[in-house]
Amino acid sequence: MSKKSKIIASILEVCIIGIAVYFLRTYIGGDINNVNQSIQQSEVYSNQDIDDAMNIVKRKFKSDFKGCALTDLWYDEDINITSSDEWARQYNSHEAIVLLSNFKVDSSGGDGSLNPNSKYTDWQWILVRDKENSKWTLKTWGY
pLDDT tens, position by position, 8-36: 877 888 888 767 666 555 557 899 999 99
Alpha-helical runs (H) found in the chain: 3-27, 47-64, 77-90
Mean pLDDT of the chain: 91
β-bridge partners, 97: 127
User: How far is Cα 18 from Cα 29, in angstroms, rounded to an integer?
Assistant: 19
87 with 98: CB under 8 angstroms?
A: yes
pTM exceeds cut of 0.85:
no
User: Which of these, 66, 132, 125, lies nearest to 95 by C-alpha position?
Assistant: 132
Q: Quote helix, strand, coil % in the chain, to nearest 5.
A: 40, 30, 30
Find out whether 58 and 68 touch, Cβ atoms under 8 Å.
Answer: no
What is the DSSP code (8-state) at residue 44?
A: S
∠ CA 85-88-89, nearest 5°, is 90
pLDDT for 102-126, tens place per residue?
A: 999 999 888 888 999 999 999 999 9
Give Cα 139 distance to the centre of its chain: 14
